[in-house]
């Protein structure tokens, strides 16, 4: 009886050691005598003890925070930028065999790519055009991690922090820009008014009777005024006629 129980016990241990449960969101990476021999899907899987080894890889979407990065913008403004990256493993064999630690590698690559991309843009673009910057970083990362069996789904820039001294300088710059635009608008208005007056003068010079009507209209405005003293302009034609008689 003992001769039967012992082999059965050994067989049970061998079977227990050879069985692996792979969850729905996992994939098993099987090595036979140290050589990669394929993937295993979810379910109950058998691995030959001693000869085979199985590693499991999580296939779900991963979220990785990119720590704040010091970035100097194209217009020489120093900022701190942090972001979040969403990625997943699409080829577990490549993710395990082609890179030592795909989590660390993806995080480090995301940090350097973020600094490189944002350094090519001015501060205004960082603040107002984040969607395009997110797409640029995501595209570069996706191309570089494709050989690792990694798919970068999305990159989101969370914060762009500016040094307080730079905030004051930017505020002064914005105020100066507003003043410059106000002066330009005022100058353009003066130019348009001068052009309109010049055209009006040319028309009045061609039609003296129009000038007389304008003069009478001006007198009407003076008479409606409530001022105690009224100064009436004298037409140049009248002065000319008086000087000729004298």
Domain CATH number, residue 116: 3.30.479.30
Question: Mean of the per-residue pLDDT values for the chain?
Answer: 80
CB 145 within 8 A of CB 106: yes
pLDDT tens digits, 170-211? 677 777 878 888 888 888 888 888 778 777 767 666 666 566
Q: Is residue 160 part of a domain?
A: yes
* pLDDT tier at 47, thresholds 50, 70, 90: confident
44-69 burial: b if 16+ Cβ within 10 Å, else e = eeebeeeebeeebbebeebebebeeb
> CA 58, CA 5: separation in Å to the nearest integer?
39
Per-residue pLDDT at 152:
94
Residues 97 and 136 in one domain: yes
Cα distance between residue 87 and residue 152, in whole Å: 4
User: Residue 227 domain-assigned?
Assistant: no
Of 19, 55, 13, 49, residue with least CA distance to 33: 49
Tally of structural domains, the chain = 2
SS3 content of the chain, % helix, strand, coil (to 5): 55, 25, 20
pLDDT at 87: 95
Does 229 map to a domain?
no
Residue 246, pLDDT above cutoff 90: no
pTM of the entire predicted model = 0.64
Domain shared by 134 and 156, yes or no: yes
- Which domain range does residue 15 map to? 2-58
In a domain, 75, yes or no: yes
Quick one: 27 and 105 in the same domain? no
Tokens 């003296």 locate to 208
């Amino acid at each position: 009886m003992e001769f039967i129980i012992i082999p059965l016990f050994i067989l049970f241990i061998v079977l227990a050691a050879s069985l692996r449960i792979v969850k729905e969101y996992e994939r098993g990476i099987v090595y036979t005598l140290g050589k990669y021999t394929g993937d295993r899907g979810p379910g109950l899987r058998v691995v030959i003890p001693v000869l085979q080894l199985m590693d499991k890889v999580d296939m779900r979407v991963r979220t990785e925070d990119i720590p704040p990065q010091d970035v100097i913008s194209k217009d020489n403004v120093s900022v701190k930028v942090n972001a979040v990256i969403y990625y997943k493993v699409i080829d577990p064999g490549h993710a395990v065999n082609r890179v030592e630690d795909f989590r660390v590698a993806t995080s480090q690559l995301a940090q350097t790519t973020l600094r490189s991309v944002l350094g090519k843009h001015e501060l205004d673009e960082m603040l107002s055009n984040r969607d395009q910057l997110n797409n640029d970083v995501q595209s570069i990362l996706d191309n570089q991690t494709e050989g690792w069996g990694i798919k970068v789904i999305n990159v989101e820039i969370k914060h762009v922090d500016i040094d307080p001294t730079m905030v004051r300088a930017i505020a002064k710059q914005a105020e100066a820009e507003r003043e410059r635009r106000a002066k330009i608008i005022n100058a353009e208005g003066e130019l348009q008014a001068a052009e309109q007056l010049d055209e009006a003068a040319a028309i009045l010079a061609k039609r003296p009777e129009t000038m007389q009507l304008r003069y009478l209209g001006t007198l009407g405005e003076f008479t409606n005024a409530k001022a105690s003293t009224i100064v009436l302009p004298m037409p140049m034609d009248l002065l000319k006629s008086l000087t000729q008689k004298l």
